[in-house]
Amino acid sequence: MSIAGVVDLLRGRPHHPVGSDGRMALADHLRELRARLIRSAIFLVIAFSVALFFYDQLLDLVLNPYNDARVQLGQKTETTAYVAGATGPLMLQLKLCGVAAIVVSSPYWLYQIWAFIVPGLHAHEKKWSRIFAAVAGPLFILGVLTGYYVLPKGLEVLIGFTPAGLQNLVEFGEYFSFLTRMLLVFGIAFEIPLFVIMLNLAGVVSGKALGRYRPWIVLGTFIFAAVATPSTDPFSMLMLALPMLILFFIAEAIARSVDRARGRGGNRTDQWSDDELSPL
């Protein structure tokens, strides 16, 4: 590849322009995909290098929920975090910085995915995809922050099951995997109402149908929250279920508003119609 090609690659310029008929050859699609993957990989490597510099701060951020839980337990349960194996500290540093790099660089590589897909969408699809991209990120971050807030309480309950006279040892690798799973569950859960709105915009589900099945949705939300949160305390379950229900009620109100705007709400019955069950 020439120097000019490398410069265009890093700047994000399309090396293979779209033809006069608005189409692009398969080979050009693959070249564009390769270029976007390379840009994402370069950005990811840069983010990983920066994360290595802030490793101590990242480690404190990850250990804070565990340390808070240990403070709350006090003298009731003795617990200690440890790293196993001779290569454990190195793998810990690489794993922690790698996850941090993926999270920090996510706006960039998600944009690369979006920019690769958007040219093939229609005008109205592009509009809704922009709205989806603008709302999905903040909702996911809100879910992750909520999970991080309730995590110390969940850890306190789980570690509190340690029998008297025994010491609880927490292997950091397992703890880090548990933490990332919890935050991911909270983040994805906060996205569910957004997908409900997108299904309504696509004509798959109506606001009236959501209202009819609201009691079952509420029950299902609490069951999901109880299963998704590993601790047995009601606080963690409510901290996941209540925001999900609030977001769902907002999604239902938006769906009903969209139905009225499209003139569909007044003519729908309480039953699912064939149009509602049709695939995208």
How does pLDDT run across 77-112, given as a tens digit for each residue? 888 888 888 888 898 899 999 988 988 888 888 778
In this predicted structure, the answer to whether residue 53 has a pLDDT above a threshold of 80 is: yes
The predicted structure's pLDDT at residue 254: 86
Beta strands in 202-271 (DSSP E): none
40 within domain boundaries:
yes
101 within domain boundaries:
yes
Provide the CB-side half-sphere exposure for 40 (13 A, CA).
19
17 within domain boundaries:
yes
Full-model pTM: 0.71
Average pLDDT of the residues in 65-85:
87
In this predicted structure, the answer to whether residue 115 has a pLDDT above a threshold of 60 is: yes
Q: 169 pairs with which residues across the strands?
A: 80
The predicted structure's pLDDT at residue 7: 47
97 within domain boundaries:
yes
In this predicted structure, the answer to whether residue 21 has a pLDDT above a threshold of 70 is: no
53 within domain boundaries:
yes
How many C-beta neighbours within 10 Å does residue 278 have? 10
Beta strands in 58-111 (DSSP E): 79-82
d(CA 251, CA 206): 11
d(CA 255, CA 261): 10
243 within domain boundaries:
no
230 within domain boundaries:
no
In this predicted structure, the answer to whether residue 198 has a pLDDT above a threshold of 90 is: no
The predicted structure's pLDDT at residue 181: 85
What value, to the nearest 5°, has the Cα angle with vertex 12 and ends 191 and 103? 35
- Domain hosting 136: range is 3-190
271 within domain boundaries:
no
Structural domains counted in the chain? 1
In this predicted structure, the answer to whether residue 155 has a pLDDT above a threshold of 60 is: yes
More confident position, 176 or 126: 176
The predicted structure's pLDDT at residue 43: 92
The predicted structure's pLDDT at residue 56: 92
